[in-house]
Amino acid sequence: MKTIFKICTLSILIISCSQNKNQLTENSIIGQWECVSGCDAEFYVFSESKAGFEFYNYKNQKIFQTGEYQLKDSLLTLFYPGGVSCIFLIELKNDSIFLNNGTIKLKYYTEKTNHTDELFTELEELLKVFPELDFGDQIPVDFTYNSRTFDDKYETLTIAGIKIETNVILAGEFVNASDVVNKISNVLTEQGFTLDELNVSEVCSTYTNETLIVQICSSETNNNEIPKEINIIINFGFIN
């Protein structure tokens, strides 16, 4: 039967951030992948068997499509039963591959784990350098983070992290709110964090390293007493 080729809506993510898109092979995408946007199904599974490289996908917890696949010269071809094939141009950027200028994305699927204990440990180490600031309890919190995807585009993620909070009296070395924020920011910079300009607002600044996000937010309290106080909130979480 004559093979029919058509352009389909799907993109593939590759785990290796350093791998060049021209080096991709069928083995590069073996595993289970979750659709982020623009796909026909919810999960895609690529595997190798004695018959060759095969794929199947899930929709509504049921197998939706099956077939074979080929990955060569930055082109992914899915071969469906009946002689129909779909061809995809794959582009690798950071830990993702985008199709159609980043409008379609598939993400490598991993089991979600609870990083709360690890976050507590990381934050305890950070707070040791601020003995004069009483941040009180560390509590779980969800906060938003804008993650770059393609060129000037980004997606807003919800980060499951922890929060600490304190009120700081503006006196002595702390003349205004920026003095407090700058002290915390300087320590983060010394520890290898960099300012994430995509996540800076009038009240919050965000710093990241390879795996962690630290968001510092400040606001004046409603206390009219002198000296004034400001409220400091630090949200702390993993990027992935």
pLDDT bracket for residue 12 (50, 70, 90)? very low
Is 53's pLDDT higher than 90? yes
pLDDT for the residue numbered 124: 63
Is 68's pLDDT higher than 80? yes
pLDDT for the residue numbered 19: 43
Can 4-108 and 116-238 be said to share one CATH topology?
Answer: no
User: What are the residue ranges of helices labelled H in the chain?
Assistant: 116-127, 177-190
Give 201's contacts (C-beta < 8 A, 6+ positions apart).
Answer: none
Give 106's contacts (C-beta < 8 A, 6+ positions apart).
Answer: 10, 11, 12, 13, 33, 34, 35, 36, 39, 44, 97
pTM for the model stands at 0.49
pLDDT for the residue numbered 15: 34
Mean pLDDT throughout 35-64?
Answer: 86
pLDDT for the residue numbered 22: 53
Sheet containing strand 91-93, strands side by side:
4-7, 84-89, 75-79, 62-72, 52-59, 43-49, 31-37, 104-108, 96-99, 91-93
ω before 227 within 30° of 0 (cis)?
yes
pLDDT for the residue numbered 208: 92
pLDDT for the residue numbered 201: 92
Residue type, 30: I
pLDDT for the residue numbered 122: 63
pLDDT tens-place string over residues 180-231: 888 888 888 888 889 999 999 989 999 998 788 999 999 887 666 667 888 8
Is 95's pLDDT higher than 80? no
Mean pLDDT throughout 11-24?
Answer: 46
pLDDT tens-place string over residues 112-124: 555 555 655 666 6
Rounded Cα gap, residues 51 and 40, in angstroms? 25
Residue type, 158: T
pLDDT bracket for residue 132 (50, 70, 90)? low
User: Which range is most confident: 120-124, 125-129, 167-171?
Assistant: 167-171
pLDDT for the residue numbered 140: 81
Which of the four CATH numbers 3.30.70, 3.30.310, 2.40.50, 3.40.1000 does domain 116-238 have? 3.30.310
Instruction: Tell me if 9 sits within 8 A of 39, measured CB to CB.
Output: yes
Q: Which of 13-22, 145-154, 175-184, 213-222 has the lowest mean pLDDT?
A: 13-22
pLDDT for the residue numbered 69: 92
Mean pLDDT throughout 45-51?
Answer: 86
Mean pLDDT throughout 90-97?
Answer: 72
pLDDT for the residue numbered 56: 86
Fold exhibited by the domain 4-108: Lipocalin (2.40.128)
Is 39's pLDDT higher than 60? yes
Instruction: Tell me if 194 sits within 8 A of 210, measured CB to CB.
Output: no
Domain positions in the chain? 4-108, 116-238
Instruction: Tell me if 213 sits within 8 A of 231, measured CB to CB.
Output: no
Q: Which of 26-30, 68-72, 136-140 has the lowest mean pLDDT?
A: 136-140
